[in-house]
Amino acid sequence: MTRFWRSMVIAGVVLGIILGIIIGPSVWSLIRLATDRPTDNDAGWASKMGWQLCSAAIAAWPQKAAPACWKLAICDNEGALTPSERTRLDQMLREARCDP
C-alpha cells in the first residue's frame, strides 16, 4: 500500500470517528424516542404517548387492579385496541363504574 492510500485510510477513519462523536448522540436520542414507552405512573399516562400503556393495563386485569377511570378513558378514546382488548376494556369500565 502506498503512503498516499495509507494516509487516506487513516483520514477516513479519523473523519468517521469525528462524525460518530458529533452525530451519535442525536441518533441515539431519536432511537430512544421511537422505542421508549412512557412509565406506568400518572405522568406517563398523562403524556402524549400514554395510550401506549393501555394494552399492558388491559392484559394485566383482573390480576392487577384496573387503572383509574381517567386512564381507562384514554384507552377508550385513543387506544388502538383489538376486539378482545375492547371487550376487556368494556368490562373494566363497567366494573370500575366509570361514566360512559
Kindly state the DSSP code that residue 67 receives in the 8-state scheme: P
41 sits in the region (left: phi over 0; alpha: psi -120 to 50; else beta) called beta
The more confident residue out of 42 and 98 is 98
Residue whose C-alpha cell is 400514554: 50
Q: What pLDDT score does 12 carry? A: 93
Q: What mean pLDDT do residues 84-100 have?
A: 85
Residue 100 scores a pLDDT above 70: no
Q: Write down the domain spans for the chain.
A: 1-36, 42-96
Question: Which three cell numbers, joined as nine digits, stand for 40?
Answer: 406506568
Residues 20-66 pLDDT 10s: 888 888 887 888 777 766 666 666 777 777 878 888 888 888 888 88
Number of helices followed by number of strands (H, E) in the chain: 5, 0
Q: 73: which residues sit within 8 A by CB, 6+ positions away?
A: 98
In this prediction, residue 9 has a pLDDT band, given cuts at 50, 70 and 90, of very high
Percent pLDDT > 90 in the chain is 14
